[in-house]
Amino acid sequence: MHSGKLLEASDLTKVFTKGQGFVRSTIEAVSRVSLSLDLAKPEIFTLAGESGSGKSTVAKLILGFEAPTSGKIWYRGRPIANLKGTKEFMKDVQPVFQNPFETFNPLKKVQSYFFETERNFAGSAQGSYPLTEKSLELVGLNFSEIKDKYPSEMSGGQLQRASIARALITNPALLIADEPVSMIDASLRMSVVNLFKTLKEEQRVSIIYITHDLATAYYISDRIAIMLRGQFVEVGSVKKVLDNPLHPYTQLLKSSVPDPDPRSRWEEDIALSDLETREYTRRGCKFAGRCPQVQKICCEGEPDYHAVDDRLVKCHLYS
Amino acid sequence: MAILEVKDLQAYYITHKYGRSTSVKAVDGVSFQVEKDEIYGIAGESGCGKSTLLKAISGLAKPPLEILAGEVTYNFDGERLDILALNDEKQRRKLRGARISLIPQGSMSVLNPVRRIRKSFEDIIRAHLDVSAEEFEEMVRKHLDALGLDWTVMHTYPHQLSGGMRQRITIALSTILKPDIVFADEPTTALDVVVQRGVVQLIRKIKEEQRSTLVLVTHDLSIHAKLCDRLAVMYAGKIVEEGEAESIFSTPRHPYTRMLLNSLPKLGDSSARSSAPGAPPSLVNPPSGCRFHPRCPHSMELCRLEVPELLEVGSGHRVACFLERRGADAQRQAVGS
């Protein structure tokens, strides 16, 4: 039943507990999230949302770093619970992390990560590393640019591209990129973002792109899921969702993206969430506290997903 | 009337090692004026000297940062003050917080993690004013109300608050004494879009309420577009273009400004965009002539040899580029013939 899918996740839930005994409290960091990626057609799937919306937790669940409280993930038709930690899975699914300066140990040369990965996964002999050079070329770097260098000797943009090159050594089918451009200067962001686009088109790599930057998401992705406090509130093709957002939260996100035009300034004030935990534990719709179109029903019952205009929206407005 | 005048400021990081000294020319010959009641923006990539410039003009330069030349003059209600001539740390302390205030970068590490927010407010107020407990509470309550923050945050520790909340509190702290001029160093960086918008909202509110002047430093041009009246673009320690925000965004003159603006992706537009080629130069050994010439698509022989001056090209719009001069020459010739 899962054939034809590269990745399939259904009803993923992750509950974190805090404290013990009487002061114990729980937070559903990810709540009944489902997504799937096709095997035949590589695509870039974006998870977008504010910090604390559970985006990174979803990434950790898919990578097998955390076990879901309930729900299942299949990779090429096989459950991830059995696959994680196997060489085959690690070779196929590779992560790219947010801060390249934290990805690499400052006391180790950058090249050692490449050599290690190549030895472990491709079985190259000591001293010859053809794949390292090839993958560096893919990201527009030269081996001489990283040779004998420590992370502190490289710029953030270069290092992030090196981090992606390292992930490409094993020739993965799926990249999980957690905020890969948020630490890079706006002017250099496009080099990384364009790289993802070419990887998808030329190397047929599927990418789960996690970001809060809707402008780059619009630029590269095929589908997008907007996350709010652990839930997907709107899922669909990126053009549909961002050109004409239906969920009030997506509308707020879209209008908050600053466009570089001094003639249009934000005139109306918006309500900000005060404490994250208050929204996580809210009954009914998690956005009800900030929503400009809030109704009585929103505070009482959790909305269902409604299929409107080729997408899923979790909002009472469309029931 | 200009509240702040900076003239030919040179601030280098000078380090001595094994008998050799290295200097990082972070700010090299920068001049500008900030008018009263305006929001003045300083933009540029990381490592172009924006934060160093702020440190130097707010009188916070400490070794290895040394100010080699230049003048920084403040004008508070007719009282002129050269901050670089103030040698007394006590005098500078009196200024900081009350007249000049800095919203620092990285709100995560600004607030003391083991003290409640209230204590931080007490520290800054008690350093300048002698107030009773009631007066203190009234003052803070009024300020927090005006900024739309809840009084309950006073009893929390920084780790209990989200990043956006901490940033808003840092802003509230830096502005509680109603300073004449506020310097904000990357106040929206590393925040989510919605929170970022909240911070922009807050900064605007403070400006309207306190009628203070604001100098905003960030690499994010979209934020400058949302807030600034006038804007300066810095590259490798120098200002390359300065002018009204509207005219910079509508008619950027310097190739670097154009490159920065072109690299910004826009929502609703997925046509191919390329990133700025190359990387900012090292400030230890900056390129000769115009520092932008190795990355510039219009680079000429002249650019490698001479440093272009910041010249006026239109009302209040100044550009440091030889292309402009060539354009002006061509115009003059056309008029002459």
pLDDT digits over B197-246, tens only?
Answer: 888 888 888 888 888 899 999 888 889 999 999 999 999 999 999 999 99
Calpha distance B219→B122 (Å, rounded):
32
Calpha distance A86→B151 (Å, rounded):
52
Q: Which site among A272, A273, A291 would you substitute to test the B interface, given the most B Cβ atoms closer than 10 Å to its Cβ?
A: A272
Average pLDDT, chain B: 87
Give me B182's structure tokens.
């506020």
Q: How buried is residue B23: exposed, middle or buried, by Cβ count under 10 Å (0-12/13-18/19+)?
A: middle
Average pLDDT, chain A: 87
Q: Which site among B197, B207, B231 would you substitute to test the A interface, given the most A Cβ atoms closer than 10 Å to its Cβ?
A: B197
pLDDT at B327: 67
Backbone angles phi, psi at A113, to 5 degrees: -65, -40
pLDDT at B107: 64
Radius of gyration of chain B (CA): 21
- With H, G, I as helix, E, B as strand and everything else as coil, classify residue B19: coil
DSSP state of B162: -
DSSP state of B321: -
pLDDT at A8: 93
* Cβ pair A260:B263 closer than 8 A: no
- Count of Cβ atoms closer than 10 Å to residue A15 Cβ: 14
- Please give, rounded to a whole number of angstroms, the shortest distance from the CA of B100 to a CA of chain A: 27
* Cβ pair A185:B259 closer than 8 A: no
- Please give, rounded to a whole number of angstroms, the shortest distance from the CA of A94 to a CA of chain B: 25
What CATH code is assigned to B2-88+223-264+282-336? 3.40.50.300
* Cβ pair B220:A261 closer than 8 A: no
* Cβ pair B279:A158 closer than 8 A: yes
pLDDT band at A305 (very low <50, low <70, confident <90, very high): very high
Tens-place pLDDT, residues B269-328: 777 777 767 777 888 888 999 999 988 888 889 999 999 999 998 888 999 999 887 766
Rounded to an integer, the average pLDDT of B131-144 is 92
pLDDT band at B146 (very low <50, low <70, confident <90, very high): confident
Q: Which residue in A has a C-alpha nearest to residue B273's C-alpha?
A: A190
- Please give, rounded to a whole number of angstroms, the shortest distance from the CA of B268 to a CA of chain A: 6
Q: Is the pLDDT assigned to residue A2 strictly greater than 60?
A: no
Tens-place pLDDT, residues A84-124: 888 889 899 999 988 888 889 999 999 999 999 998 887 77
pLDDT at A9: 92
Q: Is the pLDDT assigned to residue A275 strictly greater than 60?
A: no
pLDDT at B92: 83
pLDDT at B332: 61
Higher model confidence: residue B333 or residue A258?
A258
Give me B124's structure tokens.
């800054």
Residue with tokens 């390329």: B274
* Cβ pair A219:B197 closer than 8 A: no
Q: Which site among B38, B157, B171, B192 would you substitute to test the A interface, given the most A Cβ atoms closer than 10 Å to its Cβ?
A: B192
Closest CA to B72 of B204, B215, B211, B227: B215
* Cβ pair B275:A190 closer than 8 A: yes
**Residues, chain B, total?**
337
Q: Is A266 on the interface with B (CB under 8 A)?
A: yes
Q: Which residue in A has a C-alpha nearest to residue B269's C-alpha?
A: A219
Calpha distance B185→B163 (Å, rounded):
16
Q: Which residue in A has a C-alpha nearest to residue B280's C-alpha?
A: A155
* Cβ pair B162:A257 closer than 8 A: no
Q: Which residue in B has a C-alpha nearest to residue A141's C-alpha?
A: B278
Q: Which residue in A has a C-alpha nearest to residue B260's C-alpha?
A: A187
Closest CA to A282 of A241, A230, A242, A239: A230
* Cβ pair B275:A257 closer than 8 A: no
| Domain spans, chain B | 2-88+223-264+282-336
pLDDT at B212: 87
Contacts of B137 (CB under 8 A, 6+ apart): none
CA angle A165, A50, B108 (to 5 degrees): 85
pLDDT at A273: 63
Q: Which site among A185, A191, A263, A290 would you substitute to test the B interface, given the most B Cβ atoms closer than 10 Å to its Cβ?
A: A185
Closest CA to A245 of B82, B255, B267: B267
* Cβ pair A270:B265 closer than 8 A: no
Q: Is A158 on the interface with B (CB under 8 A)?
A: yes
Chain A CB contacts of B266 below 8 Å: 215, 259-260
Q: Is A268 on the interface with B (CB under 8 A)?
A: no
Rounded to an integer, the average pLDDT of B137-153 is 87
* Cβ pair A258:B197 closer than 8 A: yes
Higher model confidence: residue B325 or residue A193?
A193
Contacts of B215 (CB under 8 A, 6+ apart): B4, B34, B39, B40, B41, B42, B54, B181, B182, B183, B184
Give me A172's structure tokens.
């993965």
pLDDT at B64: 86
Q: Which among B45, B225, B265 has the least Cβ separation from residue A262?
A: B225
* Cβ pair B46:A214 closer than 8 A: no
Q: Is A262 on the interface with B (CB under 8 A)?
A: yes
Q: Is the pLDDT assigned to residue A53 strictly greater than 70?
A: yes
pLDDT band at B45 (very low <50, low <70, confident <90, very high): confident
Rounded to an integer, the average pLDDT of B173-184 is 91
Beta strands, E only, chain B: 2-17, 20-35, 39-43, 65-76, 79-82, 100-103, 181-185, 213-217, 230-235, 238-244, 311-314, 317-319
Q: Which residue in A has a C-alpha nearest to residue B268's C-alpha?
A: A243
pLDDT at B32: 94
Q: Which among B198, B222, B245 has the least Cβ separation from residue A259?
A: B222
Size of interface A-B (CB pairs under 8 A): 136
Q: Which site among B246, B275, B295 would you substitute to test the A interface, given the most A Cβ atoms closer than 10 Å to its Cβ?
A: B275
* Cβ pair A218:B190 closer than 8 A: no
Q: Is the pLDDT assigned to residue A37 strictly greater than 80?
A: yes
Q: Is the pLDDT assigned to residue A205 strictly greater than 90?
A: yes
DSSP state of A120: I
- Please give, rounded to a whole number of angstroms, the shortest distance from the CA of A267 to a CA of chain B: 9
Q: Which residue in A has a C-alpha nearest to residue B205's C-alpha?
A: A269
pLDDT at B333: 64
- Please give, rounded to a whole number of angstroms, the shortest distance from the CA of B198 to a CA of chain A: 7
* Cβ pair B219:A186 closer than 8 A: yes
**Whole-complex ipTM:** 0.77
Q: Is A181 on the interface with B (CB under 8 A)?
A: no
Tens-place pLDDT, residues A125-170: 777 788 898 888 888 788 888 889 898 888 777 888 899 999 999 8
- B161: Cα within 13 Å, side-chain hemisphere: 26
Q: Which of A125-134, B43-52, B122-131, B273-282 has the lowest mean pLDDT?
A: B273-282
Q: Please, which residues 207-246 of chain A have a Cβ atom closer than 8 Å to chain B?
A: 212-216, 218-220, 242-243
pLDDT at A3: 66
Beginning with the edge strand found earlier in the chain, give each strand of the sheet holding A44-48 in spatial order. A93-96, A174-178, A206-211, A44-48, A223-228, A231-237, A311-314, A305-308
pLDDT at B224: 92
- A104: Cα within 13 Å, side-chain hemisphere: 31
pLDDT band at B31 (very low <50, low <70, confident <90, very high): very high
Chain A CB contacts of B217 below 8 Å: none
Q: Is the pLDDT assigned to residue B55 strictly greater than 60?
A: yes
Calpha distance B3→A253 (Å, rounded):
37
Calpha distance B116→B151 (Å, rounded):
13
Q: Which residue in A has a C-alpha nearest to residue B258's C-alpha?
A: A187
